[in-house]
């Protein structure tokens, strides 16, 4: 079950965190993985790890906010691999702030990466998936798309857009045999969390880590490999009856808080 043999998977933001965990698991399950990553060092690190485990992968420098570059990258992947079976949009940035203290520049930056980036990659991939009569798109949304989170105005805006775009794409390409779903994680322990704590709570990292962990009813943060496992299912043939759906993976955050 959950084999990705003979499938080509394009994963954005696959140099670290959730994206890297997805790339590693997909390669383990037999996919040829294309790591789309802005950070060349992170991309090469992920690539080396996959290859050490016997997986097949390629690192491709890509700025997802640049539409022309994204189209060129996808075209080159198709020329090399022949098709794009799976697209996972994991590239994204966070932002802390309310409406009144979110600058226009910060709002625009979050929009460009989280919203336009997903739009660019989906548009490029869908054109190929239509030609090959099938494919799977998985977007990384967030619980922020479904619940109110303090000090996450711009981030919530972007993930709400990702959620809505997922539904639109799922609806519009049913006849092309293209499935589109999204995952909504709660807080996941990634390098971003560690850097956030180091920057904002120097000397109190352990204390704040524990506090943030307990915001999930289950009592801890998620792990990238747990998100990757759900991604694998949704991108596999075993999930062929699933489209237009958001999957919270949140330690009970949405339903059990309060």
Question: What's the chain's Rg over C-alpha atoms?
Answer: 18
Residue 192 has a pLDDT of 83
Q: What percent of the chain has pLDDT over 70?
A: 100
Task: Of 59, 21, 24, give the one whose Cα is nearest residue 40.
Answer: 59
**What would the pLDDT profile of 59-99 be if each residue is shown by its tens digit?**
999 999 999 999 999 999 999 999 999 999 999 999 999 99
Mean pLDDT of 23-32: 98
10 Å CB burial of residue 160 (0-12, 13-18, 19+) is middle
| Residue 25 pLDDT greater than 70, yes or no | yes
Mean pLDDT of the residues in the chain = 96
251 in Cβ contact with 171 (< 8 Å) = no
Task: Of 40, 41, 43, give the one whose Cα is nearest residue 51.
Answer: 43
Residue 55 has a pLDDT of 98
Positions marked active-site:
155
d(CA 86, CA 155): 25
**Beta strands per DSSP E along the chain:** 8-12, 32-37, 56-61, 86-89, 135-140, 178-185, 246-249
Domains and CATH numbers, the chain: 8-186+223-250 (3.40.50.720), 188-221 (no CATH)
Residue 258 has a pLDDT of 62
pLDDT band for 101, please (50, 70, 90 cuts): very high
Residue 196 has a pLDDT of 82
**What would the pLDDT profile of 38-64 be if each residue is shown by its tens digit?**
999 999 999 999 999 999 999 999 999
**What would the pLDDT profile of 167-220 be if each residue is shown by its tens digit?**
999 999 999 999 999 999 999 999 888 988 898 889 999 999 999 999 899 999
CA distances for 71 relative to 65, 74, 143, 203, angstroms: 11, 5, 30, 45
What is residue 57's three-state secondary structure? strand
**What would the pLDDT profile of 137-172 be if each residue is shown by its tens digit?**
999 999 999 999 999 999 999 999 999 999 999 999
Token code pair at residue 47: 């690539």
């Amino acid at each position: 079950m959950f084999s990705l043999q003979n499938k080509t998977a394009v994963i954005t933001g696959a140099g670290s965190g959730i994206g890297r965990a997805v790339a590693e698991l997909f390669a383990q399950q037999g996919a040829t993985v294309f790591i789309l990553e802005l950070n060349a060092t992170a991309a090469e690190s992920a690539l080396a790890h996959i290859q050490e485990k016997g997986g097949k992968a390629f690192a491709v420098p890509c700025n997802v906010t640049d539409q022309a570059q994204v189209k060129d990258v996808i075209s080159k992947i198709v020329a090399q691999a022949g098709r794009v079976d799976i697209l996972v949009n994991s590239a994204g940035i966070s932002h802390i702030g309310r409406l009144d203290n979110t600058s226009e520049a910060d709002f625009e930056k979050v929009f460009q990466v989280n919203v336009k980036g997903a739009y660019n990659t989906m548009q490029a991939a869908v054109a190929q998936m239509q030609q090959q009569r099938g494919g799977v798109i998985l977007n990384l949304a967030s619980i922020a798309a479904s619940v109110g989170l303090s000090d996450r105005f711009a981030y919530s805006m972007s993930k709400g857009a990702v959620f809505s775009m997922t539904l639109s794409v799922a609806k519009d390409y049913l006849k092309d045999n293209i499935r589109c779903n999204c995952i909504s994680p709660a807080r996941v322990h990634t390098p971003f969390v560690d850097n956030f704590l180091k920057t904002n709570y120097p000397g109190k990292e352990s204390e704040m880590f524990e506090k943030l962990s307990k915001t999930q009813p289950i009592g801890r943060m998620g792990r990238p490999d747990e998100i990757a496992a759900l991604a694998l299912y949704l991108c596999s043939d075993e999930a062929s009856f699933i489209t237009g759906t958001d999957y919270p993976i949140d330690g009970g955050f949405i339903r059990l808080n309060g």
